Amino acid sequence: MLSYFILFSSSFLAATILPFYSEFVLFALLKQGEPAWLLLLLATAGNTLGSVVNWYIGLYILKFKDKRWFYFKDRQIERAQIWFQRYGVWSLLFAWLPLGGDVLTLIAGVMRVKFFTFIALVGVGKFLRYVAVLYATQLSLNYLS
Q: In terms of C-beta distances under 8 Å and separation of at least 24 residues, what long-range contacts does 84-90 make, across chains too?
A: 84/108, 84/111, 85/111, 89/113, 89/117, 89/118, 89/121, 90/121
Query: pLDDT digit of tens for each residue in the chain (145 aa)?
Result: 899 999 999 999 999 877 788 988 998 998 899 999 999 999 999 999 999 999 999 998 888 877 788 777 788 878 878 888 888 899 999 998 887 888 899 889 988 999 999 999 999 999 999 999 899 888 887 777 6
Residues in the chain: 145
Q: What are the residue boundaries of the structural domains of the chain, listed by start?
A: 2-144
Could you tell me if 59 and 109 are in contact, meaning their C-beta atoms sit under 8 angstroms apart? yes
Integer Rg of the chain from CA: 17
